[in-house]
Amino acid sequence: MKPALVVGNWKMHGTRSEAVKLATGVLEASRRNLSVEVVLAPPFTALAAVSAALRCGAVRLAAQNLHWETEGAFTGEISVSMLRDLDCRYVIVGHSERRRLFGESDAIVAKKVGAALSAGLRPILCVGETLGERRRGRTNGVIARQLRVALKGLSKSAIEKLTFAYEPVWAIGTGKNATPEQIAAVHRFVRELLRRRAGLSARACRILYGGSVRPDNAAELAAQPEVDGVLVGGASLKVGAFASIVRSFGATAV
């Protein structure tokens, strides 16, 4: 079984010096939790500095986004080769904020997944429903659509390289949290879709939960058999809080 994966998504927070200080603190705290894979996703401006800070440790580096073209006249964008040059191992794709605030369609997300895989990066593919969609009973339909488009044309071996993150949009940054039953139901649904789509075994891909993950609910999340890790937002900006979340998942691996 793959180790639990805890990803810190720093979003648009931190100067280079602040990012290095935070990354160094996380690296030191993570040395005592080797049973958990820890990944940090700083803003683009801090990737080089954080990459250097993490070079001699076990904490991995992720980017928060990418462009699907290898190069060209795409002002303000960043390519897979640029991310590889900075030693990024993972890249977050299709985060709800990218979909909701910046208009990324399922088709755009699919192109980004393909670009990441072609360059040897491991996409963390985010899926999830809005509160309105959940209230209308459309959760499974929305997630099925997002996955159908994102995985179209991918081989079984390519899909096995993906990590999935279920992030109910209504729980991100709101302090609300999906119940263990809601999370388990969606994770099982994703696993069944992957089985039907590519013949994957239940544990072939890790499925994370993301949505107001905090130290005070991390242990409950870690105790859920369907949760293979978490995608952490605000709580990843403080070493103590993030280290507590990592410890929660390390405890379940003992």
The residues annotated with a catalytic role in the active site are: 95, 167
Buried b (16+ CB within 10 A) or exposed e, 70-90: eeeeeeeebbbebbeebebeb
Which residue's structure tokens are 């990324």?
A: 104
Contact predicate 131/90, CB 8 Å: no
**Biggest CA-to-CA distance, the chain:** 50
Question: What DSSP character marks residue 14?
Answer: -
Buried b (16+ CB within 10 A) or exposed e, 95-133: bbbbbeeeebebebbbbbbbbbbebebbbbbbbbbbeeb
- DSSP codes of every residue in 95-160: -HHHHHHH---HHHHHHHHHHHHHTT-EEEEEE---HHHHHTT-HHHHHHHHHHHHHTT--HHHHT
